Structure 1
């Protein structure tokens, strides 16, 4: 049995993983898809002081509770995911990102998105979010082909704390990455905002997977995402078996 920790992106909640989690659970695996503080079902507790470290500390507690997991981050969820890999690499059994941010030391989310998005999000926070809340964006930018699904997602998004995008992530040293790791990128977004990230990670030995489904692939293609996660889990198990055999030899 594999354990999975699924981290949602900005404006989302654990609800976005429900179809993926159902498939993984049905296959006999353990799945945690929590709401990050101030988001999802916890949106009523959103405050100006919730920052990246708040989300990272919460995710670390969940990872410790699980005792290790295959880690998956979507979009902004790549920020706390990167922190988990840095602080507890011993508990990361495999890694998958879905169109996610992947910062270097000292980089904030705003350092990794186009300036037009920075200006838009900050401007809307100032005009509509008391200077600290970023209202949800237009879901049209997520390239969701199913209009009904796009409307449902738009209705469920909640404000996101601006501070999480401004806080830099501090890393302790060189990257210590788990063996099996993959980056899933939408083949039907043009322009593709994560193309440079995918190219850089490919150079670092990541497996890059191109699939249709837009930015919300865990909802538009839940079967495909679940299958990709199971592949990471299988690769992780193979790595563990190879290491065990080597130690015995």
Structure 2
């Protein structure tokens, strides 16, 4: 019989940190699971110069946060689907499942940058400034409420506005190196966000057409469903993880 107790590692997307999961962690714990969120290198308690932060260093940070005595279910948001995929390639035996939340679930040999500008319905690109010398990108504040948090409460908007940070650029331009024997053996699920203005439903469906998943859920929410629809999102995570 499958162990009803699962361990979840929650990985944030661009410009965010572990703080964005503050409504989801206690809800997963209330369901009888263990869960924690991490700050990826370059923010929070892991400050680093953007030039030094790579996809490899982010994968290493995520791997170090996973328990060795239990497999982990990865829940990953937005840009860092690429991190979760590369992590599955590195350590498939330690991952029970990867759940991509409106996330860049890309094929082998691709990078976030290959898809970002091709999202015809995304309202995000005009507001992203790139510093190629410093190797970071930044979302202009005028896009916060309109693009990321349009269906969120004022207090969620205020929290995010006080904590959003620059994002290291190198992980977005690095090409994935994935194999069927390793990455391919980790089960994948996907949660679509039907009102997402950042990673649009158009791009989410393209990603699902290019990479197969055995379980797909849809939550009627914008990009930051962990703020706007925490109960519905937690339920979708649990259905995919335990279904």
**Taking structure 1 as reference, are residues 31 and 134 closer, same or farther at Cα in structure 2, changes over 3 Å only?**
same
Shift of 1:94: 2.2
1:18 pairs with one of 22, 26, 29: 22
1:228-249: CA deviations, max 9, x gaps? 22213322xxxxxxxxxxxxxx
Residue 160 of structure 2 is matched in structure 1 by: 153
Report which of the two structures shows the higher radius of gyration computed on alpha carbons.
Answer: 1
TM-score normalised by the chain length of structure 1: 0.80
Shift of 1:19: 0.7
What is the total number of aligned residue pairs between the two structures? Answer: 229
1:56 pairs with one of 56, 59, 73: 59
Select the structure that is richer in helix: 1
Shift of 1:118: 6.7
How far, CA to CA, are the matches of 1:172 and 1:189 in structure 2?
30
TM-score normalised by the chain length of structure 2: 0.82
What runs of 5+ residues in structure 2 fail to find an aligned partner? none
1:184 pairs with one of 188, 191, 203: 191
Residue 38 of structure 2 is matched in structure 1 by: 34
2:67 paired with 1:94: no
1:101-160: CA deviations, max 9, x gaps? 012222221112115867864x5425xxx5322123422222522351223322211111
What runs of 5+ residues in structure 1 fail to find an aligned partner? 236-249
Task: Write the mapping of 1:189-200 to structure 2, written as runs, cut at 5 A.
Answer: 189=196, 193-200=200-207
Secondary structure, aligned partner of 2:139: coil
Cα-Cα RMSD: 2.6
Q: Is the 8 A contact 1:37 1:46 kept in 2?
A: no
Secondary structure, aligned partner of 2:99: strand
